[in-house]
Chain A
């Protein structure tokens, strides 16, 4: 006779209380927040938002902490341009697989543990950047630090778990946008910290930059501790607690993996994300040098220009997410798809124009406009990703995020390594490739909502789509209850279309006369 493990009183309390728990924000049937109050820290939803964007911000600061200090580092370590280029590629390539692993980890152990573990395991790479002494050590340091960019996946997964369908686009957009801000902020923070240490404390150049790296390291450590102690996976609690109480089905890796890789939409989004986020990462690595070489601005001004590209993230990526939500309210998922295609294609056009600009002021203006569109496209992409799958949300977020990094690696390898193309020609060609690789969005089709060019199938429902990820046996044992709830809440993706099933049938007489 098998003895059932009796849950402790604490857990019974949380199982019952979850039905009547008072949240500080209005919630839907999955207890996801239906509002997005950006300046609130209310647990668990808004607190998760702030932990999420801040920890991701710290990871971005660490990953791109070296480029603004390169003029000092390259002399200390005797780096060549090839060394620097290779390290730049290494810094974004580590995250390709890390993001996939992170997606799976989120599906299996939850975003809180997954992101905190990642942060704690990559922080040593940041601290150890202070003790490197050769080009290969520099490459390894940037490679391992770059793994922390996988916290993007846990950030998006967490937001998708905490916010309901009408708000998920903007929640994802603001969290990721403010996180990406780290790539711009670091171009200002690191030189400032370096100057302080070099001038105020009086260390030599070659010691000052090493000490400066403790700042991103400490930021990351603080973020990791905050996530672990203050964060919570789902509105109802953490994965482990919910799984024990039977509230959450503990999934298997092979099933999650299967349903992610067999969903063609995930692959298309991975490709297109490579040409908005991948382009953004590439620009982060090359733009300062481009302005320095082509327009003869000094290094500090080049750094400021580079920073302004990344700093635009404070509003442009959130704007993309918001725009996605607004389009969805009127046009449903078809609006989100059209919005993404239009914004990303226009970003590609601006990229081509940027490569052709000969005048400094014109180049900066085009670059700023380009930054807005390319970052908004990233926000629009993650307005769509939460709907591709419910069971494998983490892994699909990981595939999309990983695709972004693959795009950055490929683009830098093809157009910005060696002297085959001048940098300006490389930028223009990158724009052409963006246009080409954005076209596949036209192929994305949801039976219940439609695609860009084709309308929805008449009798397809959200339930059919999300329940299809579970086998009959799994459905019989009720494992898919979370997916069903999600399906119910995602009906808003139909847009403001008049749905014939909601009108009153003509042939029944009203019950009261």
Chain B
């Protein structure tokens, strides 16, 4: 008993030390400070329903020409992501929008990561990942500089995230084999209890 106690105490202490050295949060760029210099458009129309793992979307982005030339000098990469619309964030703290981008959970799925080119518009077609959950989305593009820090952004919807939203229906993950297996094992479970019950009763009547 003493051996178990000391082993458990030591392992708990090690766990504690490990966790206290775990990575600490580093403050990131604030979204509210970013200029909206990119124009982003995507093929889905307002309210369109797409299927994950099957349908494709076409996304295009480019610098908003109304900004002075040279605004995009620092941009090196463009990261395009699928982001949750407010209706899919309600009552779901794990999708919350935070101003600090290192803590922000709004945009969780990468559509494309490309180097930034100064041509007017870049397009990219992408198949919706099978891992997308059922939700309402919009598309946002972040422009990254030399250091990988976010310098600017653009999105398909407005500032209130109310227009141009589309839905994706995710896969269920179920399959026929899974259903059959679940049914068989459940049946076996109840069935074996019945079998034991009958066997017990028979043993009792035999013993009389």
Contacts and interface: CB of A to CB of B under 8 A. Distances in A.
The answer to whether A and B interact is: yes
Interface of A: 5, 8, 10-11, 38, 71, 74-76, 78-82, 116-117, 120-121, 123-124, 127-128, 130-131, 133, 204-207, 209-211, 214, 217-218, 221, 224-225, 228, 240, 244, 293, 296-298, 301, 304-305, 308, 311-312, 314-315, 318-319, 322, 360-361, 364-365, 368
Contacts of B4: 314-315
Interface size class of B (residues with CB under 8 A): 35 or more
Given A210-B178, A293-B93, A221 B170 contact: no
Contact of A8 (B15, B174, B178, B208): B208
B118 interface: no
Interface string B120-134: 000000000011011
Contacts of B188: 221
Nearest to A296: B25
Contact of B189 (A131, A207, A211, A224): A224
B20 A205 contact: no
Given A75-B133, A204-B171, A205-B173, A308 B204 contact: no
A308 B15 contact: yes
A315 B133 CA distance: 41
A144 B23 CA distance: 39
B12 interface: yes
Given A120-B190, A205-B173, A296-B24, 4 more contacts: A121-B189, A128-B182, A130-B174, A364-B20
Contacts of A133: 172, 174
A352 B172 CA distance: 43
A240 B179 CA distance: 38
B74 interface: no
Contacts of A81: 91-93
A205 B193 contact: no
B65 interface: no
Contact of A120 (B94, B174, B193): B193
B24 to A, nearest CB: 8
A206 B170 contact: yes
**Pairs of residues from A and B, 5 with the lowest C-beta to C-beta distance, nearest first:** A206-B173, A124-B186, A75-B133, A80-B91, A120-B193
B189 A124 contact: yes
Given A210-B174, A210-B178, A315 B8 contact: yes
A221 B207 contact: no
A244 B178 CA distance: 45
Interface of B: 1, 4-5, 8, 12, 15-16, 19-20, 22-25, 90-94, 103, 130-131, 133-135, 170-175, 178-179, 181-183, 185-186, 188-190, 192-193, 196, 200, 204, 207-208
A11 B207 contact: yes
Contacts of A131: 174, 178-179, 182
Contacts of A319: 5
Nearest to A308: B15
A204 B131 contact: yes
A377 to B, nearest CB: 17
A117 B204 CA distance: 19
A124 B16 contact: no
Contact of B193 (A121, A209, A296, A312): A121
Nearest to A76: B173
B19 A364 contact: yes
A301 B173 contact: no
A133 B135 CA distance: 15
A128 B179 CA distance: 8
Contacts of A361: 16, 19-20
A156 B23 CA distance: 43
A297 B25 CA distance: 8
Contacts of B183: 127
A140 B109 CA distance: 31
Nearest to A299: B94
A127 B173 contact: no
A78 B178 contact: no
A218 B15 CA distance: 30
Contacts of B134: 78
Residue among B20, B134, B135, B182 facing the most chain A CB atoms (10 A cut-off) = B182
